[in-house]
Amino acid sequence: MDVGWSGKAAAVAAAGLLLTGVVSAGSAGAVPQTRVMFSLEFANAGESGDPEPYGAVVLRLSDRDRLLWRQGPAEDIPSQWRYPATGFAVEEVEFPEDAVNEVCAYVRERDEDSDDDQLAAGCLPYRGHYEPYVIEGQDGQVTVNIYGIG
Ligand SMILES: [Ca+2]
Ligand SMILES: [Ca+2]
């Protein structure tokens, strides 16, 4: 006997509701989804034109680092003084703002005719959003702007 499309849809909907119930029943330990809105600025004194930054910018938690931005040294590195070019980037993370201890940047800059520059190497304590985090290196600095975490 054919229950018809609407019957199948109802059965699927019921299964969906059941599944939803199971998920929410176990959600006490579920991880929250948090949106991090940020931008990066790369400064390299003496560089002609925009720098070619590579490396990583992370949020440091007590037990791990969470990448916000990464550029591999072996890849084709775009020239850019800011990431993204306008506005802000969004990363979905699985922890609340309270869990962030530090903002870290380990960024170098590709130079074809000399050794690569160091733009940033280190961390700053997290003091909340709407704060620019200016992380220094031997040859420059990286500013991590965090516009919101929530
Ligand atoms: Ca340079
Ligand atoms: Ca360069």
| Per-residue pLDDT reduced to its tens digit, 98-118 | 999 999 999 999 998 889 999
| Per-residue pLDDT reduced to its tens digit, 82-101 | 999 999 999 999 999 999 99
CATH of the domain at 111: 2.60.40
Assess whether 19 and 67 both reside in one domain: no
pTM (2 d.p.)? 0.78
For residue 139, the ligand closest to its alpha carbon is 1
Q: How many domains does the chain have?
A: 2
Assess whether 67 and 23 both reside in one domain: no
Question: How far away, in angstroms, is 52 Cα from ligand 2 center?
Answer: 5
pLDDT value, residue 89: 98
Q: Is the dihedral of CA 133, 137, 142, 148 positive or negative?
A: negative
Cβ–Cβ under 8 Å, residues 92 and 35: yes
4-15 mean pLDDT: 49
For residue 79, the ligand closest to its alpha carbon is 2
Assess whether 6 and 57 both reside in one domain: no
pLDDT value, residue 18: 44
